Every structure is written in structure tokens, then in C-alpha cells.
Amino acid sequence: MAKWLHSFYSTHKEPFPHKVETLHKLTASNAKDLRTFRPKLKAALALLVERGFFLSARIDPKSDLVIVERAADRRRLE
């Protein structure tokens, strides 16, 4: 999932928030529901922050929006 997110957000110079449900559909995840998808998404976002692709990434608990901030240094995943 991290590679998919990297590819997806690589095309967004200034990404806007997406609903978790939207990303679930776009990724064609095999997770049956959002309850099982959300932890996988959080882990993938954390990995992209750790690798320096995002400065920050979080899921807003009230709106269920994924909010990311791209890093100036756009390193590729190894």
C-alpha cells in the first residue's frame, strides 16, 4: 500500500485531503471494510513519513480525511 500511496501522491504537488473510504476504493484493497483497511493505511502513511516522502500524514478522526504534507525532498521508495 505504501508504494501505491507514493505513486498516487507523487502526482500531487499540493495534495488535498481524501476520505479514507475514497482511498479504500482507489487502492482496490482486499480489506473487506474500512475497519480493517484503516490500520493498513496508517502503517503505510507512517512508513512514508519515516522515509521522508511526507513531512506529516494523519487521519482526522472527526472527518475521516487523510491529510498529508509532502516533503520538499521527494525521495523515491527503495
* Segment 48-71 mean pLDDT: 94
Report the amino acid identity of residue 78: E
The pLDDT value recorded for residue 56 is 94
Q: Look at residue 75 and tell me if it is in a domain.
A: no
* Segment 23-42 mean pLDDT: 93
* Segment 45-73 mean pLDDT: 92
Identify whether the C-beta of residue 45 lies closer than 8 Å to the C-beta of residue 68: yes
State the pTM of this model: 0.86
Domain span at residue 54 reads 2-70
d(CA 39, CA 1): 11
Question: 55: which 3 cell numbers?
Answer: 513531512
Number of domains into which the chain is organized: 1
Q: Look at residue 64 and tell me if it is in a domain.
A: yes
pLDDT band at 72 (very low <50, low <70, confident <90, very high): low
Q: CA 4, 6, 10, 16 torsion: positive or negative?
A: positive
pLDDT higher than 90, residue 35: yes
Q: Look at residue 77 and tell me if it is in a domain.
A: no
